Structure 1
Amino acid sequence: MESLKVSDYMNRHPVTFETEMPVAEAVGKLLSSNQPGGPVLDANKKVVGFVSEQDCIKRMIESSYYREQIARVKDIMHKEVLSVKPYESIFELAQEMLGQKPKIYPVLDDDGYLLGTINRTHVLKAIDIQLKDGYRTP
């Protein structure tokens, strides 16, 4: 089997957020992008966090209960973000996904800049294609 790379299957146009963005705006971006989450970027376009639908739902429930509407992405984002490199193996990432919680991983270059994201569906698709190719008769 040939080595499948993260860069071959990643989403090159992920939804992204800024730390000072209101949560309501982040929700709008999530809904219009049809993506379940995305990286939070600082002014230098480096990843400093991650926001998911689940994070937004939690804040929206709290906001409706306490009547607070001024939450920012920095208030709800995960600051510890697991990421991958574009040259990493899909199979190694699949193994990592078995033990880790994130459904989406930012793909960063060696300098920490965002190149895209990869999620469980992308990994599953890559492995499925690889397996189907392996069963084809020459």
Structure 2
Amino acid sequence: MESIKIADYMNRHPVTFTEHMPIAEAVELFLHNKQIGGPVIDENRKVIGFLSEQDCLIKMLEATYLNENHYAVGDVMHGDPLTVKKESSVLDLAQQMTHHKPKIYPIVDEADKLIGVINRSAVLKALDDHLKAMYERGHTRLV
């Protein structure tokens, strides 16, 4: 399992957000791309935060009650998100996911610039692929 790298299962074209983007625009991106969260990046693609559907839901509900919509992503994003490197092990990330709650992790390069994301479903697929491969190798040895 140590040989299965995050790079093999990452989404290289994730939906991203900017700090000054209106929440309504972020919601449109979530709805159009069926992604539940995503990294907030600066002009150099450095990850400066993370935005989830739930963050947007809270502010959209407030906007509905107040009949105004002036919130920006920077108003609600979570700063200092947990990130991972593409060379890291899927097994290590799976273990980390059992202790930390993020469902999506931004993947950064050596300069801390965003290169993709990996979500819980992709980690489960990696684990499933690995278990299937182990079963097939074990099954062929018995024959």
Cα RMSD between the aligned structures?
Answer: 1.0
State the 1:76 CA deviation.
0.8
The residue that corresponds to 2:105 in the other structure is: 105
Q: Could you tell me whether the CA contact under 8 Å between 2:51 and 2:73 is conserved in 1?
A: yes
* Mapped partners of 2:16, 2:40: distance in 1: 6
Instruction: Write out the 4+ residue segments of structure 1 that deviate beyond 4 Å after TM superposition.
Output: none
* Mapped partners of 2:2, 2:92: distance in 1: 13
Give SS of 1:43's match: coil
TM-score (norm 1): 0.96
Give SS of 1:49's match: strand
Give SS of 1:17's match: coil
Equivalent positions of 1:36-75 (< 5 A) are 36-75=36-75
Structure 2, unmatched stretches of 5+, are: none
The residue that corresponds to 1:15 in the other structure is: 15
Structure with bigger gyration radius: 2
Q: One-letter code of the match for 1:82?
A: L
* Mapped partners of 1:107, 1:124: distance in 2: 17
* Mapped partners of 2:68, 2:2: distance in 1: 52
Identity of aligned residues (%): 53
* Mapped partners of 1:93, 1:80: distance in 2: 18
Structure 1, unmatched stretches of 5+, are: none
Q: Does 1:34 align with 2:34?
A: yes
Q: One-letter code of the match for 2:70?
A: I
Give SS of 1:48's match: strand
Give the number of equivalent residue pairs: 138
- Shift of the 93–2 alpha-carbon distance from structure 1 to 2, 3 Å rule, reads closer
